[in-house]
Amino acid sequence: MTASSTSERYLAVDFFRGLTITFMIIVNTAGDWTHIYAPLRHAEWHGCTPTDLVFPSFMFIIGVSMWFAFGKYQRKWSSEVGWKILRRTALLL
C-alpha cells in the first residue's frame, strides 16, 4: 500500500467497518421473529449478546473514521469542512 497525504486507506478500519455492517445485516434479518438464534436476540435487561455490540461498534468506527478523514483539515472546524459534511449528507440522503 502506498501512503499518500489525501487518500490513505487503513485496512483494519475498513475490515472492522465491513464486519460491523455484515453483523448489522445479520441481526436485522435474524429469521421470522418467532424462531431466532439466541445470540441474535437482544438481552432482556441485564446481560449482553453479540447483537447488543453491533451499534456501539458502529459508533466507534464512525469516530475512528472521522479522526482519520479530518486529518487533512488539521482536525479543526472550518467552513470548508462544514460544506463538505453538508454536501456528503445531501448525497447520502
- The question of whether 35 is a catalytic residue gets the answer no
Note the helical H segments in the chain.
11-28, 54-69, 79-92
How far CA 66 is from CA of 4, 44, 69, 79, in Å, comes to: 17, 33, 5, 17
What are all long-range contacts of 4-8, with beta carbons under 8 Å and residues at least 24 apart? 5/72, 6/72, 8/68
- Please count the other Cβ atoms lying within 10 Å of the Cβ belonging to residue 47: 8
Catalytic one of 42, 72, 75, 88 = 42
Catalogue the active-site residues.
42
